[in-house]
Amino acid sequence: MDTRKIRIFDTTLRDGEQSPGASLFPEEKIIIARQLERLGVDTVEPGFPAASPGDFHAVQQISRLLQNTEICGFGRAVKDDIDAAVRATADAAKRRLHLFLSSSQIHMDFQLRKSREQVLEIARSMVAYAKQHVDRIEFSPMDATRSGEDFLYEMVEAVIAEGATIINIPDTVGYALPEEYGNLFRRVRANVRGGDRVEYSAHCHNDLGLAVANSLAAVQAGASHVEVTVNGIGERAGNCSLEELAMAVETRGGAIGITTGIRSEEIYETSRLVSRLMNLSIAHNKPIVGRNAFQHEAGIHQDGLLKNRNTYEIMDPERMGIPRDMIVLGKHSGRHALKHRMEQYGIRMSEDELNRFAERFKEEADARKFVSDADLLRIWGDTSDTQAEPYSIVDFQVISNHRKIKVASVTLKDNRTGEEASFAAAGSGPVEAVVACIKQAVPMDVELKDMEIHSLSSSESAQGEAQVTVEAGGSLYRGSGIDRDILSAVAQAFLSAINQAVSHSGTGAPDSGNQAEDRTAAGGC
C-alpha cells in the first residue's frame, strides 16, 4: 500500500488557549511554539491576532522565529481581522490565512442574524479580499456538520471560486459520528465545482469523545491536514489530541496507508510543557501521556511485562520520551513485581524473604489504595531487620507565612553509618525549601525534573500523594510519598527517588549482603 503523509496543523496556541484558565503570556507562547517546531508539526496557528495586542505580538514574534514551520494567521471573515492576521504573519517564511464563517442555520439565525444570501456574500468578498494579500487561504464553514448540505456545497463552491486553497470542514460542536464525518468529506469533494482542485482539512472537537476517530475518518476520505492540540485541550471538551492522533498513525498507519512528520521522542516533553505553562493537569487515564497510560497494577499484567513488554503494551513509552514506570504496587500486584521493585533498590531476596515480604505487603495493600516507596522500604525493614534505604528522614520543619521567604530544616539519618545530620535552606515556597535541604545531604548532583501532587480523597482529612522525578548521573528516578501533610509526602517522594539514585550509583547500597544489580532500563520506578 502506498503511504500518504498527513500534515499536522497545531492550534494549541489558538483553540487550545481558549480552554478556561489556559491563557498564556506572549513569551510562553513563544516557548511552546519552539517546542512544536522541534516536535515536527507542519503548521502552527499561534493565536488570534485581532483579539488583543498581546496575541498580535506573539503571532508576530513566532512568525519571525519559526522558519521551518508554516504559520497560520487566524481571523473571522471581517476586514479588520484579516488585516491584523496579514500584518502579524508578514515576516513568516511560510504562511497561510485561516478565515471562518458560520454555515449552520442555527448559527445564522441566532448568532449572525443574517440570511443565507448575506452570509454567502460575506464569504465571497472576504476570501477575495484576503487573497489580495496571501496566496494560501484556508476557509472554515463553522458548524459544518450541522449545516444543510446544499448550502454547505454552495458556500464551499463560492470560496473556492474566490481563491480559497484549503477547505476545512469543522465538526465545531463534536456532533458527528466517524462514518458521517468521513462521508461528508467525500460528498463535498464530489458535489462542489472545483472541489478536486483544493486541499482539505479536518478540525474535530471532542464533545462525544470522537475527535480522533472522526479525524482519522476524514483522512481516509481524502483530508490531507488534521487540526490538533497538545493534550487535546480546547473549547469545552477540547480538540483532537495531537499525541493520540500521531501515535494512532505511528502504530496503525500501515493499515490505512498514512504517516506524519511528528517526532515521537518529543511528545512527552511537549505534553508536560503545555500542561505546566497552561496550568492544566493531565487526566491519569489520558491515552499516551496520562500517568496511568503505561502503568500496570494487575499481577498477571506485571508478570507478562517483566518477561516481554509487548505482552500488554502496543507502544514503547521510552520512544516518546516517557520515563519507564510500568509497575504500580497495590493489592493486585504479584510476587514478580515486588521482587522487581526491590531489585531497583539493590535488594535481592531469597525465596523465604520474598514470601515473608509479600505476605506483609498484601496486608498493607489491602488497607490502603496505594503503597508508596517509603512504605515498601519500611515493610522490608520490618520483615528483614535490615534498613534498605541509604537515607531516611528523622524530622523536618518549615517556617512559612504569607509574605516572607520560607525557611526549612531537615534532619536525615545515614542508615549506613547511623549518623544523623541537620540541614537548613530557604526558598520562595515551602517545597523549594525542603527540597533544598535534602539535596545538601546527597553525595551526588540531583536535579528535580518533575513533581505531581494529588489529593487521594475530598475530605478535610485527605491524604496527599506526591510523585517526584529526579535526574542523577544521566538517569531518571521516580519516587512516591503519601501523607496527610503534603510537605511530608513531597519530602518522602524526593528522598525515595534520591535513595534509588544513590543505590544504583554504588555509593549507598545497604550493607546487608544484598548486592545492587546493573540498571538496564532508564526511568526508575
Query: Do the domain assignments include residue 49?
Result: yes
Q: Same domain, yes or no, for 87 and 115?
A: yes
pLDDT score of 368: 66
Q: Same domain, yes or no, for 401 and 482?
A: yes
Query: Do the domain assignments include residue 360?
Result: yes
For the residues 104-131, what does the mean pLDDT come to? 96
Alpha carbon distances (Å) from 4 to 220, 241, 253, 288, 289: 10, 20, 10, 23, 26
d(CA 233, CA 231): 6
pLDDT at 38 over 90: yes
299 pLDDT band, cuts 50/70/90, is: low
Going by C-alpha positions, the residue among 174, 171, 229 that lies closest to residue 206 is: 174
Going by C-alpha positions, the residue among 1, 39, 45, 8 that lies closest to residue 249 is: 8
- What is the β-pairing status of strands 137-142 and 475-483? unpaired
Determine if the pTM surpasses 0.85: no
For the residues 251-271, what does the mean pLDDT come to? 95
pLDDT score of 91: 97
Domain limits for position 46: 4-278
Most confident of 30-34, 329-333, 394-398, 518-522: 30-34
3-state secondary structure of 242: helix
Cβ atoms 198, 229 nearer than 8 A:
no
pLDDT score of 515: 33
Domain holding 412: CATH number? 3.30.160.270
Query: Do the domain assignments include residue 345?
Result: yes
Cβ atoms 16, 44 nearer than 8 A:
no
For the residues 32-49, what does the mean pLDDT come to? 98
Most confident of 123-127, 253-257, 415-419: 123-127
For the residues 218-238, what does the mean pLDDT come to? 97
- Give, as one character, the DSSP assignment of residue 327: B
Give the tens place of pLDDT for each residue, 144-161.
999 999 999 999 999 999
pLDDT at 493 over 50: yes
- Encoded amino acid at 49, one letter: P
Least-confidence region, from 38-47, 171-180, 317-326: 317-326
Query: Do the domain assignments include residue 130?
Result: yes
What nine digits make up the cell of 332? 493486585
Query: Do the domain assignments include residue 511?
Result: no
Residue with cell 511537549: 270
d(CA 339, CA 351): 10
pLDDT at 115 over 80: yes
512 pLDDT band, cuts 50/70/90, is: very low
Q: Same domain, yes or no, for 164 and 221?
A: yes
d(CA 485, CA 481): 10
Domain holding 247: CATH number? 3.20.20.70
Residue ending a domain, among 354, 384, 414, is 384
d(CA 83, CA 488): 55
Q: Same domain, yes or no, for 454 and 321?
A: no
Q: Same domain, yes or no, for 115 and 189?
A: yes
Residue ending a domain, among 229, 249, 278, is 278
3-state secondary structure of 469: strand
Q: Same domain, yes or no, for 179 and 305?
A: no
- Alpha carbon 250 to chain centroid distance? 17
d(CA 77, CA 519): 58
Backbone angles phi, psi at 97, to 5 degrees: -110, 145
pLDDT at 277 over 50: yes
Q: Same domain, yes or no, for 305 and 402?
A: no
Least-confidence region, from 75-89, 435-449, 502-516: 502-516
Query: Do the domain assignments include residue 337?
Result: yes
Q: How many domains does the chain have?
A: 3
Q: Same domain, yes or no, for 169 and 272?
A: yes
Q: Same domain, yes or no, for 365 and 342?
A: yes
Query: Do the domain assignments include residue 516?
Result: no
d(CA 468, CA 54): 35
d(CA 433, CA 230): 32
For 385, other C-beta atoms within 10 Å of its C-beta total: 8
pLDDT score of 63: 98
pLDDT score of 385: 67
pLDDT score of 336: 74
511 pLDDT band, cuts 50/70/90, is: very low
Cβ atoms 167, 188 nearer than 8 A:
yes
Q: Same domain, yes or no, for 166 and 315?
A: no
297 pLDDT band, cuts 50/70/90, is: low
Q: Same domain, yes or no, for 94 and 243?
A: yes
Query: Do the domain assignments include residue 520?
Result: no
> What is 140-195 written as a DSSP string?
EEETGGGS-HHHHHHHHHHHHHTT--EEEEEETTS---HHHHHHHHHHHHHHSTTT
Which is more confidently placed, 120 or 290? 120
Residue ending a domain, among 353, 384, 415, is 384
Q: Same domain, yes or no, for 482 and 367?
A: no
